[in-house]
Amino acid sequence: MFKQIAPLSGARTSSTRADRPAVSDTDQSPLLVAVALLALVICCLAISNQSFWIDEAGGGHVAKQPTLATWWRAVLHHGEDLQLPLYTFFIWGWEKVVGLQEAGIRAGNALWFLPGVLVMFYALAGKPLLRWSFSTVLLCSPFVWYYLNEARPYAMQIGLSLIVFAALYQIGSTQNRSTQERGWVIALCLGSVLFGAVSLLAMLWLGAYLGAGVLGAPEDHRRRLARDYRMYWVPTLALLCAEGLFYLWTLSRGTRGAPLPATGFRNVVFVIYELLGFGGLGPGRLAIRNGGLGAFRPWVPWLAIYGVVLLIVLIQGWRQVTTFTSRRTRVCWVAALVIVVGFISIVGAKVQWRVLGRHCASAVVPVLFVLGAGVATLLSRRTRSGRIVVAAFVGLSFVSDLNLRFSERHAKEDYRSAAVIATAAAARGEHVWWCADGGAGIYYGVPMSQPNSTPAPGQVWLLVDPTERLLASQPPPQVVVYSSKIEHDPGQRLRAYLQQGHYGLSQVLPSFTIWRR
């Protein structure tokens, strides 16, 4: 936990706003409303009606089930969604309110993100400069923008991370009992139970938060909190144990993520790249996956400029954090985050599972806290150079946001348009081959065959890593829907077939090419 925060005011500690006492709850109400409206505007900007990609389509299939019984059967059938209990239940209920439109489903993220923003803003009431700096960094974070636009559990995880982090910050800000301490204990307990119920990975990150908070606090403070609020800790611990047993049960069933290339050093670097907000200033994910390091070459100038200002803000933020936290606290938080990232990476390497930034979504909150402290420190000095660095950092972050939201290179896989093309061609009696994810195609209404099985009349032939013999076993198609992701055709046999069999490239969609004979 944190010691009492020191002023973020440089040499002028006697008169800056950062030293003023916290305002009353009544005085804060207009500020909370203003921040809520600002966060809502950010959600509206970040959330799009683009097609679902593979994982989102899987969640959409679960969400559209008409009853709880069919929802549960779909969760069991879909495998990895069994380890997302709170999110799958929420999205099922949310779909009954807003329907199956992509933007509507994604808008549910705001219901979890907005409370997190407000709770964190309220927690920092005593330090106006820090609260506004952190809020700015949070609402301009490219990582946050990207996952607000995903119908997956990551925005929920970020929102609940903010609540837990805010509660730990407040409980640890003073060693003496305060009038609001009980409320923050309740927020910590409720936030922890919900946080742990989001997913198995969220449970690991919750362990990092609570471990760092408990071990970083002085022993006498821990004992007092344990004694005074045991009526809250005991049921909370019981519920968290129940969640842990549920996740152990899912593991006993063999539930795991889709098998993809194993995690390596590059994956860890990409996690850091995403968390720190580089994403929108560089190449798209498909280009990175297929082109490797060469995909970054055209974007090096922008990435370098952002990297320089980011480094300045990070250094200033870390220096400021060292002024209001103990060495023990800092070691506990850094160790907890590194241990969880390391554990997830080792598991990914062992079980052929690719670790990406989204699997470390909860790590973004302490990272943004350090960045917010850096922005506050630079502004408190009132120097031109400090303001230039802050303006460059916030401005480039916002450019990254807009690129992630609107640039074609960062567009989501367009399964919706690909499905429309395939379904229309099949309805005309044409032979259609589909080399992409079958589940996402079915979600968008494609009449799909079983994988690599002879299609019935009117069906689209689903190909999964086809062999040359399999390709030769069917009549030549009139239309081929081909995913640009290499895992659907790892041997490149279908691509060779298309290039040698008098097919022309008819249409290019995000992550898809359409070929016609």
Greater pLDDT, 475 or 135: 135
Q: What is the Cα–Cα distance from 481 to 484, expressed in whole angstroms? A: 10
Name the residue ranges covered by the structural domains of the chain: 22-47+109-410, 415-516
- The overall average pLDDT reported for the chain is 88
**Tens digit of pLDDT for each residue in 290-336?**
777 888 999 999 999 999 999 999 999 999 999 988 899 999 999 99
pLDDT score, position 108: 96
Region at 483 (left for phi over 0; alpha for psi -120 to 50; beta for the rest): beta
CB atoms within 10 A of CB 229: 18
Phi, psi of 433 (to 5 degrees): -110, 145
pLDDT score, position 169: 92
First to last CA, the chain: 65
Q: DSSP code of 510?
A: T
Q: What is the Cα–Cα distance from 193 to 313, expressed in whole angstroms? A: 33
CA distances from 309 to 136, 283, 302, 420 (A): 16, 20, 11, 45
Please name every residue paired with 516 in a beta bridge, in sequence order, or none if there are none. Answer: 479, 504
Q: What is the DSSP string of 19-60?
A: GSPPPPHHHHHHHHHHHHHHHHHHHHHH---PPP-HHHHHHH
Taking each helix axis from N to C end, the angle separating 128-139 and 364-380, rounded to the nearest 10 degrees, works out to: 130
Taking each helix axis from N to C end, the angle separating 54-63 and 68-78, rounded to the nearest 10 degrees, works out to: 150
Q: DSSP code of 483?
A: E
pLDDT at 47 > cutoff 70: yes
Q: What is the Cα–Cα distance from 398 to 143, expressed in whole angstroms? A: 11
Taking each helix axis from N to C end, the angle separating 384-406 and 300-324, rounded to the nearest 10 degrees, works out to: 120
**Tens digit of pLDDT for each residue in 353-366?**
778 889 999 999 99
Taking each helix axis from N to C end, the angle separating 154-172 and 364-380, rounded to the nearest 10 degrees, works out to: 60
Region at 407 (left for phi over 0; alpha for psi -120 to 50; beta for the rest): beta
CB atoms within 10 A of CB 200: 22
- Percent of the chain residues topping a pLDDT of 70: 92
pTM: 0.90
Selection from 489, 488, 507, 495 nearest residue 437 by Cα: 488
Q: What is the DSSP string of 105-151?
A: HHHTTHHHHHHHHHHHHHHTTT-HHHHHHHHHHHHT-HHHHHHHT-S
pLDDT score, position 259: 55
pLDDT at 120 > cutoff 50: yes
Ranges 181-195, 416-430, 460-474: which has the least confidence: 460-474
pLDDT at 455 > cutoff 90: no
Model confidence at 233, pLDDT cuts 50, 70, 90, reads very high
Model confidence at 16, pLDDT cuts 50, 70, 90, reads very low
**Tens digit of pLDDT for each residue in 90-113?**
999 999 999 989 999 999 999 999
Q: Which residues touch 450 (CB under 8 Å, ≥6 apart)?
A: 462
**Tens digit of pLDDT for each residue in 239-265?**
999 999 999 998 888 766 655 555 567
CA distances from 316 to 4, 28, 162, 311, 331 (A): 19, 28, 22, 9, 18
pLDDT at 514 > cutoff 70: yes
Q: What is the Cα–Cα distance from 146 to 60, expressed in whole angstroms? A: 18
Q: Which residues touch 92 (CB under 8 Å, ≥6 apart)?
A: 62, 63, 65, 68, 71
Q: What is the Cα–Cα distance from 130 to 376, expressed in whole angstroms? A: 5
* H helix intervals, 199-297: 200-215, 219-228, 230-252, 265-275, 285-291
Selection from 255, 441, 215 nearest residue 339 by Cα: 215
pLDDT score, position 260: 58
